[in-house]
Amino acid sequence: MIQVGMAYYPEHWDRSLWEKDASRMAKLGVHAVRLAEFAWSRMEPEEGRFDFGWLDDAIDVIARHGMRVILSTPTNSGPMWLYTDHPETVQWGRDGRPTDLGIRGHRCIQSPVFRRYAGRIVEEMAQRYAGRPEILAWQIDNELESNHCTCPSCREAFRRWLREKYGTVEALNKAWGSEVWSGEISSWEQIQPLLAPDCMPDWHNPAFMLDYERFGAWSLADFIQRQRDIIKDHDPDAIVTTNSWFCANMPDFYQEFASLDVAAYDNYPPMDLPEDGETLYSNAFGLDLVRSFKRKNFWILEQLGGAGGCWSPMGPAPWPGMIEGYALQAVAHGADLVSFFRWRSSCSGAEMLGHGVLDHDDRDNRRLAEIGRFCRRLEAMPELDRTGLHSDVAMLYGPDQEFVLKNQRQSRNFAYWTQLRLFHDACMGLGVNLDVAPESAALEGYKVVLVPTHYVTDPALAARLEAFAAGGGTVVVTNRSGVKDKHNNCIFGEALPTVFRRLCGCRVEEYDAIGDDRRHIAAVNGGSFAVTGWCDLLEPEGAQVWARYTEKFYAGTAAITKNAFGAGWAYYVGAVGERALYRSLLLEIFRAQDIPVLTALPQGVEVTTRSGEGGTYRFFFNDTLHGKTFPVDGQMVSLRPMEMKIQGEGGEWL
């Protein structure tokens, strides 16, 4: 069955509480307890002196109550003696100076000295705990980010990485276009990956910036694999993962999880929900993205358990049903384990106002009751873990696109994730499963492939999309696609969308980066939609016009086109529209491809289907703070705010 977990920090609490806490968790329905990700100073209080007795006792208590352990390596936060005795292990910031001690994550993952000590503590843990039946899985480190450290070790590692990639400074200068602003280098030592706060990233050479991001992603993946290899050397059958999150220094998630057994994520959906009808806030896109990291079901290692309050002022209290509803939303999108953060709110440290399931008064509360209901609902569906999501639609996500569009903004109101989420939002609102797939994914088996803003262009992908469309599939490409080559330099001498031009049957005659302004487009077959952020002015080259602009100097110019290509179709969406535009466009495409849709779902109701050997389950989630009523299969369904209803294979409600 789907497993329920709980984050617990026995080192924070008197031992007299451990037995009581384990008993309460077990009675609640918890299967796994996550331990130790910040406990290095307790495991190795002095250099070379290890103390695992307290951890042995905590694991024994948990196991005695019928639960297992997700054991974390504590390398996110080293002990103070490590940093003071070995200052070269400290991470340096963008200003080129060591990070202040006393916070978490202030270690350099490229430092040879840090790696030696990190490897040693992981080795000690693996020797002691690997293969024990109490251990369900291992978590490496905690909420890792792409490596943006600027210390001497990382500077030299970046230079080595560039030397291996380019071979000579001449080849690097050519790839980077370094002649601009006299940026040509004559020795590797001249490369300085320092991004001072007073110098915005978009002032740097974009080709340099992309390689710096790629290096940071490689550095992180290498750090993870080294720990994974230590654990696997002691237990080849161990389940090893790490807890990803969507952070400022975004990694390449596909590299991050390449050597790991299961993808995992820390899931903190919003609690202060907008009511303007246009703001995208659903967390569903992130869940489907996490499923793409390994292209299979995933785990949640931190699930919303209470109001936030660690890194900013305290957030609002969760609405009734929100804790349970968001946990079920994760399951609906492929989570096979949901571990809540945390069992009790801390009484000390920076996270004391970041609420867990229990408040500081230690009493049973509404949040605990909701998690209990969540556990009981899962118990009523014991075969659910033998199902997954099967999709006719794929949307391609690329780490390179994430990197370059973050560092070189296209307009004031233009974001890569916005377009991804607009398409995803429309699919959820039509009850259509969607895979968020890597750009390298095989396209066979899909009927529709969505390609939002493929900015850094891979000609091989364009060829695969042409073959997909020629075979009867439908492709949707959007604005700012085909702009750059693999080095992040603009493609010369070819009209946009360059490598996608033949597939889409149109060219971009001109574009208008309208930022926060709004324009309107009119669909040829009816309907008017507001657009913002970007406007491509399209000249059809065999394509039909799907929508035209209605104002400014480009009134009457094509904004969206539709091109017959072989047995299939290719659409080009030149603007960033409101939510209704994507629903209208995808509804036409899905109907043409015989993909079943639900057209009567109110805005804010998401429908996802899990199916497989364990049966078929449809999840109806009201991701709003208002009640919703709508027809399904000839009957009316009502959902309270944040309520999830689940329909079984025979139409019964579970």
- Gap between the Cα atoms of 587 and 594, Å rounded: 10
Can you say whether residue 270 is alpha, beta or left, with left for phi > 0 and alpha for psi between -120 and 50 degrees? beta
**Percent of the residues in the chain that have a pLDDT greater than 70, as a whole number:** 99
- Catalytic residue numbers read 143, 302
Predicted pLDDT at 259: 98
Q: Of all helices (H) and strands (E), which one includes residue 544?
A: strand 544-549
Range of the domain at 530: 393-592
Alpha carbons within 13 angstroms on the beta-carbon side of residue 73 total 33
Whether 52 maps to a domain, the answer reads no
Say yes or no to pLDDT of 579 above 70. yes
pLDDT, mean of residues 250-278: 95
Report if pTM > 0.85: yes
Closest CA to 435 of 396, 387, 493: 396
Closest CA to 117 of 168, 82, 158: 82
- Gap between the Cα atoms of 451 and 465, Å rounded: 10
pLDDT, mean of residues 355-377: 97
Average pLDDT score over the chain: 96
CATH of the domain at 423: 3.40.50.880
Whether 454 maps to a domain, the answer reads yes
Whether 55 maps to a domain, the answer reads no
- Gap between the Cα atoms of 642 and 625, Å rounded: 6
Instruction: List the beta bridge partners of residue 337.
Output: 3, 299
Whether 186 maps to a domain, the answer reads no
Q: What are phi and psi of 647, to 5 degrees?
A: -105, 125
Tokens describing residue 186: 């004559």
- 585-602 in b/e burial notation, b at 16+ Cβ within 10 A? bbbbbbeebebebbeebe
Whether 137 maps to a domain, the answer reads no
Q: What are phi and psi of 12, to 5 degrees?
A: -90, -10
Whether 236 maps to a domain, the answer reads no
Predicted pLDDT at 641: 97
Closest CA to 285 of 302, 265, 271, 258: 265
Segment 178-220, tens digit of pLDDT: 999 999 999 999 998 877 666 666 788 999 999 999 999 999 9
Counting the structural domains of the chain, the total is 1
Segment 422-463, tens digit of pLDDT: 999 999 999 999 999 999 999 999 999 999 999 999 999 999
For the chain, the farthest-separated pair of C-alpha atoms sits apart, in whole angstroms, at: 76
DSSP state for residue 478 in the 8-state scheme: E
Closest CA to 391 of 447, 344, 466, 473: 447
Tokens describing residue 363: 């009493």
Helices (H) and strands (E) in the chain, counts: 17, 24
Segment 481-529, tens digit of pLDDT: 999 999 999 999 999 999 999 999 999 999 999 999 999 999 999 999 9
Banded pLDDT at 223 (limits 50, 70, 90)? very high
Closest CA to 119 of 258, 256, 223: 223
Predicted pLDDT at 278: 85
Predicted pLDDT at 384: 98
Predicted pLDDT at 198: 61
Closest CA to 356 of 301, 283, 304, 300: 304
Asked if residue 504 lies in contact with residue 482, where contact means CB atoms within 8 angstroms, the answer is no
Whether 543 maps to a domain, the answer reads yes
Banded pLDDT at 172 (limits 50, 70, 90)? very high
Distances (CA, A) of 387 to 295, 339, 598, 609: 14, 19, 22, 9
Banded pLDDT at 11 (limits 50, 70, 90)? very high
Whether 566 maps to a domain, the answer reads yes
Q: Of all helices (H) and strands (E), which one includes residue 366?
A: helix 366-379
